[in-house]
Amino acid sequence: MDKNVLVLSAHPDIAEKSKACAALLSAVKDLPKVRVMDLSEIPATVENYYERVKAASVIVLQFPFWWGSAPAILKTWIDTLMLGFLEDPSMKGKRLLVATSVGSGPEVYRAGGAEQFTVDEILRPFQVMAIYSGMTYLTPFVLYGTMLPDAEQRIQRGAKEYRALIEQL
């Protein structure tokens, strides 16, 4: 079992404005092998992230799904740091897990549905990033329906599933 999972939390305000991502983070942050870095608090510099990223065997990009993508802080982080990691042999073989919470339900994320595409398809740019840097892209973890009437139950259930997934990585 891998001992070092780095969760990069990319919610702009997880303390005050998040239910879903906050629940996901709470569900895993006490696991001994998990380290959390909050992109909204730690500026995207090589000095701040290099050693932790290098030491991780699994990198988790955790964010709320915004406009079919991640909040801008994650893009800034990727644009600032991933170019350097692209050439870094230590990235090869790491696993990359995207973990995202999505407002709509899974039934609309398909061809012909209201959202037209699956979330896997919409997340392709993250997969491209993994391929470029030699990482293994894992099946994304998607918590659907955080804006639906039964969101509370979905979030509770999703948090348990997320913990189980991270535990067995």
Residues in contact with ligand FMN by the rule CB under 6 A: 11, 17-22, 64-68, 101-104, 146-147
Question: For the chain, where are the E strands, in sequence order?
Answer: 5-9, 34-38, 58-64, 95-101, 136-137, 141-143
State the DSSP code for 110: S
State the nearest-atom distance from the C-beta of 54 to ligand FMN, in Å.
28
Two tokens at 86? Answer: 């692209």
Residues whose CB is less than 8 angstroms from the CB of residue 124 and which lie 6 or more positions away in sequence, other chains included: none
User: Between residues 71 and 85, which has the closer beta carbon with respect to ligand FMN?
Assistant: 71
User: Between residues 66 and 137, which has the closer beta carbon with respect to ligand FMN?
Assistant: 66
Are the beta carbons of 74 and 37 closer than 8 angstroms? Answer: no
What's the distance, Cα to Cα, between the start and end of the chain in Å?
A: 7
State the nearest-atom distance from the C-beta of 131 to ligand FMN, in Å.
24
Rounded CA separation 11/14 (Å): 5
* Residue with token string 């997340």: 123
State the nearest-atom distance from the C-beta of 29 to ligand FMN, in Å.
14
User: Between residues 11 and 94, which has the closer beta carbon with respect to ligand FMN?
Assistant: 11
User: Between residues 84 and 105, which has the closer beta carbon with respect to ligand FMN?
Assistant: 105
Are the beta carbons of 146 and 8 closer than 8 angstroms? Answer: no
State the nearest-atom distance from the C-beta of 155 to ligand FMN, in Å.
8
State the nearest-atom distance from the C-beta of 20 to ligand FMN, in Å.
4
User: Between residues 91 and 99, which has the closer beta carbon with respect to ligand FMN?
Assistant: 99
**Phi and psi at residue 138, to the nearest 5°:** -90, 160
Position of minimal CB gap to ligand FMN? 103
Rounded CA separation 91/28 (Å): 23
